[in-house]
Amino acid sequence: MSSKMRRALGLGLASAVALAAAAARADTSGVAPGGFTSTFALVVDADPGRVFQAFGQLPRWWSDDHTWSGRAANMSVDLQAGGCWCERWGDGRSAMHGQVVLVQPGSVLRLNAALGPLQDMAVSGVLSFATARRDGQTRLRVTYRVSGPAEAGLDKMAPQVDAVIGTQVQRLKAFIETGKPD
């Protein structure tokens, strides 16, 4: 992980925790040295189809602070099984943040994704976005399951990962509802 990304993770933690706590609370479960699950559930003022379309516009809602290049504009996601959530920037540099494993338009998007510093820890991460229409509302549920060897100490990383994912979930919601992530 680059020093810029480490610094962004550390410096952005306080604001990310505050934002996540204020708007999308994580239900963190199964916290142990070998893994954890973070779940964010919220109501989005849009139909499930519009929510799904927003997933594909990743560069417009993902935070620059949580990229390898420092620019979310360098990211893309191919919304089909086997598709790459990739970041490409100058001099042939690139990163695969995740791989799409399930697409059900308007319903579910699931990726295998060991994000950020988790990528270097030989752990697995599964990031799922699910929408459902209930009682006249669109409910968005984002779940991130991370697992690995006990020596990874994932229980210590769970609060930081919750904060980062929480920030992205709030940015996605804001983007869907207003066209702007902030």
What are the DSSP calls for 143-159, one per residue? EEEEE--GGG-HHHHHH
Which whole number is the average pLDDT over 109-126?
A: 95
How far apart are the C-alpha atoms of 60 and 45, rounded to whole Å?
A: 18
* β 26-32/35-44 pair status: antiparallel
Sorting pLDDT into bands at 50, 70 and 90, what band is 26? confident
Q: What is the mean pLDDT of residues 7-21?
A: 39
User: What pLDDT is recorded for position 24?
Assistant: 57
Q: Which stretches of the chain are DSSP H helices?
A: 3-23, 48-55, 58-61, 154-178
Mean pLDDT of 16-33: 64
Q: What is the pTM of this model?
A: 0.85
CB 112 within 8 Å of CB 99: yes
Whose structure tokens read 């360098």?
74
Structural domains for the chain: 3-178 (3.30.530.20)
Rounded percentage of the chain residues whose pLDDT exceeds 90: 84
Phi, psi dihedrals of residue 74, rounded to the nearest 5°:
-85, 0
Q: What is the pLDDT of residues 60-101, one digit of tens each?
A: 999 999 999 999 999 999 999 999 999 999 999 999 999 999
Enter the tokens of residue 19.
């934002």
> How many helices (H) does the chain have, and how many strands (E)?
4, 8
Stretch (H or E) spanning 90: none
Residue 131: CB atoms within 10 Å: 23
Contact call for residues 66 and 168 (beta carbons, < 8 A): yes
Nearest Cα neighbor of 66 from 174, 130, 178, 160 is: 160
pLDDT per residue over 131-165, tens digit each? 999 999 999 999 999 999 999 999 999 999 999 99
